[in-house]
Structure 1
Amino acid sequence: MTLPARYSYLANEPGPKMVLEALKVFGLTEGKGQANNPTILMWAGEVAQANPTAYNKWATTFYSEDSIAWCGLFMALCAVRSAGGKPERLPPDKYLSALSWAKWGKPVPKTGAMLGDVLTFQREGGGHVGLYVGEDADCFHVLGGNQSDAVTITRILKARLFAVSRPAYTVQPDNVRKIKLTVSGPVSVNEA
């Protein structure tokens, strides 16, 4: 799937690495009905192989169907694929819980979100996590998994923001910056 025109700038960004990894699977969707997308189900095993802990081993058996919320799993995949062997870049211990991402990386003030930062949101029944790719006056534009059952970019109200975290960069990419966008598209109300 190609990026919508309003996000075409992302195709030319040289980083951050987590954004680049997320874009590689942009448009990937859950299986229809009772079917499962085997790619999503395999992600837990990939994360566990990169960081073999008891939790990660458990997560590989927990992910038996793609109807289980997978925004945290998607973020863990992006973190693992972009970590370059650096333990501080691996996902948080309980990465399946979206709210656990609030304690990952380096904390950033809520008003300081920039390209590639991890945004953690509150929602009824839990949380949601994704990557900052821009903002308009009222919403963040978020690249994430399990958004309308796919890897997409969606608008989420700034008022729902719980925390902003920046990857533990050795050298921060030069293109990490605020990106101001025009208001376009619906606002997400429930990403599960």
Structure 2
Amino acid sequence: MTSKSVENIKQIQHALARKGYNPGPVDGVWGRLTEAAVRHFQADHGLVADGVVGPKTSVVLLGNEMAVAPSDDPSIPWFQEARRLVGVREVVGPGNEPKIIDWAKKAGIDYRDDDIPWCGLFVAHCVSSTLSGELLPGNPLGARNWLKFGAPCSPMLGSILVFWRGKIDGWKGHVGFYAGEDKDAFHVLGGNQGNSVSIVRIARDRLLEARWPASAPVCVTEKVELAAGDSFFSTNEA
């Protein structure tokens, strides 16, 4: 999943810095300093101070609306953070991947061992590190708890997809981000998929619900239709 989102975020950070708003390091990572700088800029320019660079903010900040592919859209920063982390892998056996443990520390989640399923932790990190005002569900490590997050929506780019695992009326689940779909499956960008942050195909009939952050404007997009290729369905994401 080739991404130009890092370059897009750097462009936003450069523009903020030039105008006297501190976005933190100009590194292409959408962190809380960048979000806060966007909010201050928006408030100073009569825009909705939601910390999201949508079309209106883009025009005032950059002088034009950013022409980006839907998957690179900076107005879904939690999804861009997820894409940036593709390839992060847990340590099999003794020891832990420091990045995964650090996500928990920064989000205030009690998590000390990456042998414990971390799909919910991954989603919590991506949301909390880019949307400072967004409330996480109680016990975000529990995948099905994300059914109480934000607001329901149609499956669309960047939306949070909650799936059942094991059996539909059980307690096990999986959670990740919509990256696309084919006629049989959703393509899900998530953590703890093959012990890593990756994109897998999950059968449509396993979807419980799609959710959208309450503090972010809904970016209604067309379906992202992808080829199924030769990949098999993911059947156990723990």
Settle same-fold status: TM greater than 0.5. Answer: yes
2:139 is aligned with 1:139: no
- 1:42-191 correspondence to structure 2 within 5 Å: 42-48=102-108, 56=109, 59=110, 63-83=111-131, 85-86=132-133, 89-108=134-153, 112-124=154-166, 126-173=172-219, 176-184=221-229, 185-191=231-237
Q: Give 1:38 shift.
A: 1.4
Structure 2 counterpart of 1:70, one-letter code: W
Counterpart Cα distance in 2 of 1:167 and 1:95 = 14
Contact 2:124–2:140 (Cα < 8 Å) also in 1 = yes
Counterpart Cα distance in 1 of 2:107 and 2:157 = 23
Q: Give 1:10 shift.
A: 7.3
Q: Give 1:172 shift.
A: 3.2
Counterpart Cα distance in 2 of 1:34 and 1:177 = 44
Partner of 1:8: 2
Label 1:157 to 1:10 Cα distance change in 2 as closer, same or farther (>3 A). farther
Counterpart Cα distance in 2 of 1:113 and 1:9 = 21
Paired residue secondary structure (2:237): coil
TM-score normalized with structure 2 length: 0.66
Larger Rg computed on CA atoms: 2
Contact 2:92–2:115 (Cα < 8 Å) also in 1 = no
2:64 is aligned with 1:28: no
Contact 1:76–1:90 (Cα < 8 Å) also in 2 = no
Paired residue secondary structure (1:82): coil
Between the two proteins, the alignment pairs up a number of residues equal to 167
Counterpart Cα distance in 2 of 1:150 and 1:173 = 27
Counterpart Cα distance in 1 of 2:4 and 2:215 = 20
Contact 2:187–2:202 (Cα < 8 Å) also in 1 = yes
In structure 1, list runs of 5 or more residues that go unmatched.
1-6, 49-55
Counterpart Cα distance in 1 of 2:218 and 2:172 = 31
Q: Give 1:29 shift.
A: 0.2
In structure 2, list runs of 5 or more residues that go unmatched.
6-68
Structure 1 counterpart of 2:158, one-letter code: G
TM-score normalized with structure 1 length: 0.80
State the percentage of identical aligned residues: 39
Counterpart Cα distance in 2 of 1:70 and 1:45 = 13
Q: Give 1:169 shift.
A: 4.5
